[in-house]
Amino acid sequence: MTPKLKNLTLAITLALGVGTITACANTSSSMSADSAKAEAESSAASNGKADNKVTISGTTTPFASEAIYFVMTDRFVDGDPSNNHEDQGGEFPTWQLPMEGPDGKKAYVGYMGGDLKGVLNNGDYIRDMGFTAVWMTPVLQNPNQSFSGDEQITFGGAFKDGGKTGYHGYWATNFYKADEHLISHDLSVKQYTTQMRESFGLKSVFDIVANHGTPSFTMPSDQPGYGEIYNAEGELVADHQNLAPEDLDPKNNPLHEFFHDYPDLVKLSNLNDQNPKVRDYLINSYLYWISQGADAFRIDTIRHVPHDFWREMSDRVRAEHPDFFMFGESFQYDANFIAQHTLPKNGAVSVLDFPMQEAMVKVFEKPLESDFATLADTLYLTHGPYNNPYDLTTFYDNHDMARINATDNGFINAHNWLFTVRGIPVVYQGSEIGFMRGTSEHEGNRNYFGQDNIDNAKSHAIAQALTKIAHVRKNTPALQRGLQFNLELAGHKAAFYRVLQSDSAQQTALVMLNKAEEPASFSIDEYMQAGTWTEQLSGETRELVSGDALTTSVPANGVQVWVREGALDSDALEAALIKQMSAQ
């Protein structure tokens, strides 16, 4: 198989009576894409279409069927006030810690009370929106004081940690222990994941870190927890001792062995990923959290750790848990750069699709001034750098960047795109109501969402539209795993097929998007198949015969998804799909 096909799981199988010819991009077959295509076309011509079985899918990765709701646990819902620890920290308090901005605006760098029980209590809310998995920020134990070192963070500031707490979970002191702010006396992490799965059918995505621990130096006086790392038994195994990285002595001081002697991100400790002890400590912790119910991992700051670490980590994890899904945060907009993480030689870890995120902001913040064509190149449906673009996690904002500054219709259009194109959609908490739109991390992006907002969300236009299209994806295998074949991405209109032909499902979806403020007419005759087509949002049905076009009007800021069940009935479409697969 040629390298250009990479790991895209697109298979062409021809049943020939005396055997089969298969070109499958996730095998180690030596057949080239061109020769497979030539043999397929030759065999089809000589044997007749009735003898052919064509298997087409964008991916067979099971997790590609999921849709992910991203929760910053401390800022979601306070389900258990008894674990708030409002008096914790002494002279370095940890509760709320508001920062004042202009016009009465506030952002917070302390704990706000959200916990696992708050997420569990709203499992039905997340499920009913159409999501099937919840990614939550790290559950790990963090320091019990605010950080006294570094420059003081202020409203709207960035890359300063002074005065902040580990409410977000990314400042781990013990990679094996859950933070006391998140668990309850009657709800452990394992109980949480079990109940989410059994009560709501929701998988759990755990957020893991490998490149850093806590802020570890520049404190006026060393603080407990900061710079320290403890093992599963609660024993101290590493301590930065409030020393600058260049002052560490890892060769002579065992407590310094876990750290590099040079800095990386702000004042965070820089874990020595080349030390076998560190590798075992971290990788064994990841395996532990899988035993506690993690169904997938989101990997923080993946590009700050070399590929060989992730290869060892993924090999060890998947030796015990085959096909375990992982996606990393490589905060770069260069597809060729972030795609390196997805290659099997580097661990076959998928990534958050930052190039598409950047394009989505351009298109949907100002939908009336933008062009769907801006998004076309970010799909990488052919000649792309990714191992498999269909396994990327797609999003338009998160907790580490400004929330998208879109109107309600901008959000609706963004969701219509996100839940119909290739990739696994991820939506950040609050986006269903446009919560704190346009704000960055220290301007309100991470403000407490709360039960009142959740209780009122069902009446919000964004949430209502999101729920509809998310359920369409949830119930349409072609939107989850089907090959995407573009027909039109121009101006305010987009149209494309998603085609799935496999043993489990035979389905063609025709997606039509309109981001204009007035209805848009579509007439699709290119590769149109005869048969029954059903529009998934309205239930409308059309019976088409050979030569018919599917003509419809898509409402303003709307979407239609027309689905035809069954095997392909168009030689032209089949040939076009095979041609696209050979160029993947």
Structure tokens at 7: 């790991």
What does the alpha-carbon distance between residue 363 and residue 224 come to, in Å, rounded to a whole number?
Answer: 47
Q: What is the DSSP string of 476-524?
A: -HHHHHPEEEEEEEETTEEEEEEEEESSS-EEEEEEEEE-SSS-EEEEE
Start-to-end C-alpha separation, the chain? 12
What pLDDT does residue 53 have? 72
Q: Are 111 and 95 in contact (CB under 8 A)?
A: yes
- Which one, of 363, 569, 564, lies nearest residue 482 by Cα? 564
Tell me the per-residue pLDDT of 400-425, one tens digit each, with 9 for 90 and over. Answer: 999 999 999 999 999 999 999 999 99
Q: Is the pLDDT of residue 428 over 80?
A: yes
Tell me the per-residue pLDDT of 241-261, one tens digit each, with 9 for 90 and over. Answer: 999 999 999 999 999 999 999
Residues above pLDDT 90, as percent of the chain: 90
Question: Mean pLDDT score of the chain, rounded to an integer?
Answer: 92
What does the alpha-carbon distance between residue 480 and residue 421 come to, in Å, rounded to a whole number?
Answer: 9
Quick one: average pLDDT of 85-104? 97
Give the single-character DSSP code of 401. S
Q: Which conformational region is residue 539 in: left (phi greater than 0), alpha (psi within -120 to 50 degrees), or beta?
A: left
b/e for 38-71, b at 16 or more Cβ within 10 A? Answer: ebbeebbeeeeeeebebbbbbbbbebbbbbbbbb
Q: Is the pLDDT of residue 18 over 50?
A: no
Tell me the per-residue pLDDT of 189-240, one tens digit each, with 9 for 90 and over. Answer: 999 999 999 999 999 999 999 999 999 999 999 999 999 999 999 999 999 9
Q: Say what the pTM is.
A: 0.92
| Ordered structural domains, the chain, with CATH | 3-51 (no CATH), 68-76+116-139+182-211+292-475 (3.20.20.80), 483-566 (2.60.40.1180)
Q: Is 37 helix (H, G, I), strand (E, B) or coil?
A: helix
Q: Is the pLDDT of residue 436 over 60?
A: yes
Q: Is the pLDDT of residue 16 over 60?
A: no
Quick one: average pLDDT of 557-578? 96
308 burial via Cβ count (<10 Å: 0-12, 13-18, 19+)? middle
Q: Are 5 and 384 in contact (CB under 8 A)?
A: no
Q: Is the pLDDT of residue 2 over 90?
A: no
Categorize the per-residue pLDDT at 581 as very low, low, confident or very high, splitting at 50, 70 and 90: confident
Q: Is the pLDDT of residue 32 over 50?
A: no
Tell me the per-residue pLDDT of 475-498, one tens digit each, with 9 for 90 and over. Answer: 999 999 999 999 999 999 999 999
Residues above pLDDT 70, as percent of the chain: 91
Angle between helices 461-474 and 408-418 (to 10 degrees): 10
Name beta bridge partners: 236: 230
Say which residue the tokens 């490589």 belong to: 330
Q: Is the pLDDT of residue 34 over 50?
A: no
What pLDDT does residue 43 have? 37
Categorize the per-residue pLDDT at 559 as very low, low, confident or very high, splitting at 50, 70 and 90: very high
Categorize the per-residue pLDDT at 158 as very low, low, confident or very high, splitting at 50, 70 and 90: very high
Q: Is the pLDDT of residue 3 over 70?
A: no
Q: Is the pLDDT of residue 531 over 50?
A: yes
Helix, strand, coil abundance in the chain, percent, nearest 5: 30, 25, 45
